[in-house]
Amino acid sequence: MSEYEIALIIVAFGLLGATILPSLLSEKPLTLPMFYVGLGVVLFTIVPGAPTLDPIQHSVITEHLTEIVVIIALMGAGLKIDRPFDWSAWAAAWRLLGITMPLTIAIVALLGWMLLGLHPATAILLGAVLAPTDPVLASDVEAGAPLTEIEEEQALIHQWGTVRFSLTSEAGLNDGLAFPFTYLAIAAAAADNVAGWMWIIDWMAVDVLYRVGVGLVLGYGVGQLMARLIFSTPSLSHQSDIMAGAEAIVTTLLTYGITELLGGYGFIAVFVAALGLRRYEWEHEYHRELHDFAAVVERLLMATVLVLFGAAIAGGLLAPLTWTDALVGLVTVILVRPLAGLLGFVGSEAPWSDRAAVSFFGIRGIGSFYYLSFALAHVSFAELELVIAAERLWAIVGFVVLTSILLHGMMASPIMSSLDKRRDRVLESHEATSSANN
């Protein structure tokens, strides 16, 4: 049996999982990511010649494969959000991005430097890689499809937010905002051979201000243009109906490509463009089509990456992991992110149960794979330390992602069901109060 036939079988299982398993796994402590990783482990273990992908030897392929999954997931995340953009209404997102994420990066970097003995630049990279909440694997705790929560958001618009909104908005933005810290790690490694501190000024000017600014501006601009094009063009043919929603992928690729060509952060641009699409013709039913098309493509690509991840695990990805590495990985998932999340919500109006849930569900996933492969694909002799640490870094990151898939996957359904029931009671109370006042 050749790799081609085996690949066809894997694709078939991926399609099967994307179409049938969501309903079968509903309300159960088992998720699609767990299924796909397990499938990869089993196939590579029992099927001779099963395809695999060494993320170190093929860092560029790994980078681009994970990149495309993340940007499509970012489009889907932006289209899910039914809460209008407002600085106060998005307070939860700003807390997670401005407090929780930097704290997480700093603590993980400190652990990597002091406990794992990593070079400071490598420790910063580890912190940046493990900081983002993944938009791909967070579907069980994200907001629902467009138009499903408009009434609920209108009722709660003056409150702090919701768990699903907080995690969706965080996942949409921190995948892009972790990029400056990845560049910081590369710049810090190169600075070993550079006198002075000018490299910090260059990093702040280019990698923070310029790249973030370009991402925001182009994301908004392309999003507005595509929104006007999509909602002003009627569907006049059967072919148009068949391809309904494909504009979401067009917008994703166009926004990302233009932004990256001009040196901006494409991740930020794609999410901002998605918010622009979602905000235009706010209650139009076509937003569901856009979201659903993106979700199908995202699930198929996610299946591919996670099956290959399982195969890599079976092939020895975690072999370089030491007990200390594993301990730091567990601490990152179980203690660092939850504590940083709780600190981020100090002074918030959010109930403690919601704070705890948002802080706990800092899901690590394919975004972490992308950042690590990106850094290792863009190093030079000046950043040789990052190359030397590649196998160990992949083992640590792979372990953290696997832990997150298992732990968060098992806990997502029961925790979110409990929170959803409590929110239903809050909405019923709000509606009763509104009816009495009227």
Alpha helix stretches (DSSP H) within 115-233: 120-129, 150-156, 163-177, 179-190, 198-202, 211-232
CA–CA gap between residue 185 and residue 104 (Å, rounded) = 15
Enumerate the domain spans of the chain: 53-214+306-431
Nearest to 216 by CA among 161, 167, 179, 162: 179
And the tokens for 135?
């938009």
CA–CA gap between residue 37 and residue 32 (Å, rounded) = 9
| Global pTM value | 0.88
And the tokens for 9?
């079988």
CA distances from 313 to 44, 193, 375 (A): 9, 36, 21
What is the pLDDT tens value at each position of the chain, 438 positions in all?
566 676 677 677 767 766 676 666 666 666 788 888 988 888 888 876 666 778 888 888 899 999 999 999 999 888 888 787 778 888 889 999 999 999 999 999 999 999 998 888 889 999 999 998 888 777 667 666 565 665 565 555 556 678 888 888 898 888 888 989 988 888 887 776 555 677 888 889 999 999 999 999 999 999 999 988 888 765 544 455 555 678 888 899 999 999 999 999 999 999 999 999 888 777 677 777 787 778 888 888 888 889 889 989 998 999 999 999 999 999 999 999 999 999 999 988 888 888 999 999 888 889 999 999 998 887 654 555 666 678 999 999 999 999 999 998 888 888 888 887 777 776 666 656 656 665
What is the sign of the dihedral through the CA atoms of 14, 131, 74 and 269? Answer: negative
Side-chain-side CA neighbours of 378 within 13 Å: the count stands at 17
